[in-house]
Structure 1
């Protein structure tokens, strides 16, 4: 399991997160674009924190999203890498009645 970045426990982040949620009326901005009203639980960094740490507390780089949309934005972080599953094909066997027995 990946460790949580200590940044997400700082008072500055928690305050900035709250401001972003209030700004977005606690609504998922991705769903809102599709005319759906869904509560936001996550504040997403548009430009990733790991790549742009200087934008970590910049409101213009934050958007409120629901967990489902956040997992779509970060499929590897949300659910882990999906296993490579091969499609299985069912073999169909055609069976005919034995005419000689009837």
Structure 2
């Protein structure tokens, strides 16, 4: 079985040739688009990541199982894992600019 018990071990796994080959197979199978976006009628073909449905850390026996993989865009992958990216929107930047002007 593949050792994924530590962050370092998982990092080694994700740089392995076996993972790179399988990752490419998952991307091809999913037509290089996010499967969650596709289910919502959207087409997302940028910032793609390959997600382990049964998480690698808890189910190492499925690490190299193509049926346990799906292509997600970065945004959907972050939602799936409860990670949030905070980017300043244009409105927020404009608001901060006006506030900075006011307060000098």
TM-score (normalised: structure 1): 0.69
How far the C-alpha of 1:5 sits from its partner, in A, is 2.1
Larger Rg: 1
Aligned to 2:38: 32
SS where residue 70 of structure 2 aligns?
A: strand
- In the alignment of these two chains, the number of paired residues is 77
Structure 1 gap ranges (5+): 80-102
Partner residue, 1:93: none
Flag the structure with more relative contact order, 1 or 2, with Cα contacts below 8 A and sequence separation at least 6.
Answer: 2
> Which structure carries more helix by proportion?
2
Q: Which runs of 5+ in 2 are unaligned?
A: 1-6, 86-104
Residue in structure 2 matching 1:14, options 11, 14, 20: 20
Q: 1:45 aligns with which of 23, 47, 52?
A: 52
Q: CA RMSD in A?
A: 1.7
By how many angstroms is 1:74 displaced?
Answer: 1.0
Deviation at 1:75, TM superposition (A): 2.1
SS at match of 1:5: helix
Moved over 4 A (4+): none
